[in-house]
Amino acid sequence: MKSALRTRYFVSTALIAIVCGLMAGGALSTLDVGLPTVGIPSIAPTIPFPVIPALIIGVFTHWASTAGELPWMDASSRNIVLHSVAIYTTAWFFGLAAAAISMAVSSENGDFLLIIRDFAGLALMTLGARSLGAGRYAGVIPPTYVLITCFFARSHTGAINSWAWPMDRDPANPIAIITILVCLALTLGNLWRPTSHRNYPWLKLH
Amino acid sequence: MIPWYRRPAWWLFAPAAIIVTVYISANVSTDQIVAHREAAIAASSLLLFVSAPLAGVSAALEAGRERQSRGLLETKTRSELHVLWVRIWPSILSSCLVQLLAIAYLLARAGSAPDPVSWLIPIALCAALVLHSLAGYVIGQWVPTAMAVPLTILLSYVWVAFTWTVEPTQLRYMAGPVMAMCCSPAQKLDSQAPLTLLVFSLIMAVAYLGVAVIGGRRGLKNAVSALPRLVTSLVIAGFAFSVALTTGNGIGVLPGRNLAISELQCASQEPTVCLSAVQIARRDSRDLVGKTFAVFNDIGLQPVQRVEPVPAMITGDVLTSTGTAFVSMKPGMSPLEVVHSAASTYSSQLDRFTCDLQNPQKWFETRYLVQAWLDGTAAKRLLTTDEQEAIINFSLTDPTTSEALKSNLSVLNRLPEHQQAAWITSASKDLLHCKVPIMPGGNAS
């Protein structure tokens, strides 16, 4: 366990997670960041601020938790992938706890459910992509998805399309909930598969 | 030779091409580019949002693979420049193809056009993509791949999107997408805009090249040669900014330039109507514009001798005391739209008031009444019966006031023609002085 924590840069990961959590729950949690120049010109889309720390935590934690892995470890009987996911999830909880504390201290009228949704949705998207064989490039999926939602979030009536849930401040957005559930199922399914079947060489991008 | 199917640039080409196609279909209005090749090509600069991350990300992935493929005891047989070229040419080519696809699609949507293809814009955009590829490669050399890819996307987006709103304005042209604001049908792109992008991208690419040949962290082992290269790159980067600041000096916020009078096509009639080749590309409306103003000249409104396209960001009068009217015309406008646009010149002049409105609601209601009368009067002489009905509804779009305005309009139309013109002239004077005139029937509303 000690070795797993060391090879996965757990101290740095935990620190980044806490900083991102403090950012997400602090004074900026209610801020909508304008995205100039994309989408329909008359209505510029805005991105709720908690999405940005959720992306940072997702990218960094995924890199850190998988940096020490080698391709053969996917099929190792010691289930090294499970260790990485456990560390990833722990860091995610650290971030969430920091967000809760930050929100309580700053007495900001933010929506904690929204932070949970963004953190869980984007984190599980990485793990879900990994389960489908994206390997170490799984961390790219959430930023790419957010980038695409920036382009196409708004319909011509100005409303936010429901699939572009990172742009939507409604924590109960059904597509967000479906994404979380599907990615959770993929992740759990991958972890509990027989190790000999965990490798998906035909889906490997590297 | 690395096989093509192991090149991320080719794998990323298909999704990027799809995003570009969907983005143009969903978000780029054909009205903005129809019959105007230069506007269509310039509009493609907005698609740097897609092609630039493609260039950067694929180059960052290649840099990561290059780093990982090196053995501990490997000796160098090829120069860093050679390795770099072998690694990044697919990134440059693939992103340029995406950009050219965007240009081709926009040109197809623009349709046939009288203006020539402007080659400087695609060349400048491709130069920008070389810069993004090199930047991605350098990031990939220094940062682990899993973080280099999102970092490249982020930096690319920050550079391309957020420079649009910053000062000095030359920075906007160094990034590129601001060219998408070009151009109205009576404008052409200021050639300084793509030139600034081209010059900055090429010189800055050389600066990145200097950093890239250091060879990442591994190259730092030989710190004696790394330091001068780094310093040289910084000097070149400074030079790139200085040259671009000079090249882009004086372009302004918008990259379009109004066409000179000699570039307009004038019809020999009274009044003389001069429009650009793009404005008359789909339908030559100069005759109808001239007839519309002739109607108002005959009635006795402020005389118009010459009609020209309205300049962008006009600050002066749209109807000058020397008899020049500035009209807004797009290619392919229907006769109803042409008459409405020409007639609107008189009511647009009313918006040039400089005083405080005493009763804003009544002021605007009266302004729309004037507009409706102008439209109706011109339509009666120049358009079909159906179009006459339609143009009035076109003028009185606000359902809360349209009934009252229709009633006032019918009172005004029952007056003898010279009295109608007299009322419009005096009402226009009052409106320009922020007063609400007495209505044609004699009541105050």
Tell how many helices (H) and how many strands (E) occur in chain B: 16, 6
CB atoms within 10 A of CB B73: 5
* Residues B179/B121, Cβ–Cβ less than 8 Å: yes
CB spacing of B162 vs A36 below 8 angstroms: yes
* Residues of chain B positioned with their CB less than 8 A from the CB of A127: none
Report how far residue B40's alpha carbon sits from residue B28's, in angstroms, rounded to the nearest whole number: 10
CB atoms within 10 A of CB B27: 16
Assign B229 to helix, strand or coil.
Answer: helix
The b/e string for B82-117 (b: 16+ C-beta within 10 A; e otherwise) is ebbeebbebbbbbbbbbbebbbebbbebbbebebee
For the entire predicted model, the pTM comes to 0.83
Predicted pLDDT at B72:
63
* Residues B38/B182, Cβ–Cβ less than 8 Å: yes
* Residues B124/B176, Cβ–Cβ less than 8 Å: yes
Report how far residue B188's alpha carbon sits from residue B262's, in angstroms, rounded to the nearest whole number: 14
The position carrying tokens 């770099």 is B84
Quick one: what percent of chain B has pLDDT higher than 70? 95
pLDDT in tens, B272-296: 999 999 999 988 989 999 999 998 8
Predicted pLDDT at A205:
44
B91 pLDDT exceeds 50?
A: yes
Predicted pLDDT at A197:
52
pLDDT in tens, B198-250: 999 999 999 999 999 887 777 776 666 778 888 899 999 999 999 999 999 98
Predicted pLDDT at A206:
44
The conformation of residue A48, written as its DSSP 8-state character, comes to E
State the number of CA atoms in the 13 A half-sphere of A183 facing the CB.
Answer: 22
Q: Which residues of chain A have pLDDT under 70?
A: 1-7, 35-44, 68, 70-78, 107-108, 156, 193-206
Closest-CA distance, B149 to chain A, in angstroms, reads 7
Closest CA to A131 of A181, A83, A51, A203: A203
Assign B272 to helix, strand or coil.
Answer: strand
Arithmetic mean of pLDDT over chain B? 87
| A59 in contact with chain B, both atoms CB, cutoff 8 A | yes
Residues in chain B: 445
Report how far residue A7's alpha carbon sits from residue A175's, in angstroms, rounded to the nearest whole number: 35
pLDDT in tens, B280-336: 998 898 999 999 999 888 888 888 889 999 887 777 788 888 889 999 999 989 889
CB atoms within 10 A of CB A195: 15
Interface test with B, best of A51, A57, A63 (most B CBs within 10 A): A63
Q: How confident is the model at residue B373 (pLDDT cuts 50, 70, 90)?
A: confident
Closest-CA distance, B146 to chain A, in angstroms, reads 6
CB-closest option in A35, A60, A140 to B149: A140
CB < 8 Å & 24+ apart, contacts of A160-169: A160/A45, A165/A117, A165/A121, A166/A47, A166/A48, A166/A51, A166/A118, A166/A121, A166/A122, A167/A45, A167/A46, A167/A47, A167/A48, A169/A32, A169/A48, A169/A111, A169/A114
| A163 in contact with chain B, both atoms CB, cutoff 8 A | no
Helices in A67-140 by DSSP H: which ranges?
80-106, 112-131
Q: Are strands B265-267 and B272-275 parallel, antiparallel or unpaired?
A: antiparallel
CB spacing of A148 vs B154 below 8 angstroms: no
The conformation of residue B434, written as its DSSP 8-state character, comes to T
Predicted pLDDT at B442:
62
Helix H or strand E segment including B309: strand B306-309
* Residues of chain A positioned with their CB less than 8 A from the CB of B149: 137, 139-140, 143
Tell how many helices (H) and how many strands (E) occur in chain A: 7, 2
CB spacing of B19 vs A66 below 8 angstroms: no
Whether the bond between B168 and the residue before it is cis, its omega within 30 degrees of 0, is: yes
Interface test with B, best of A147, A149, A150, A152 (most B CBs within 10 A): A147
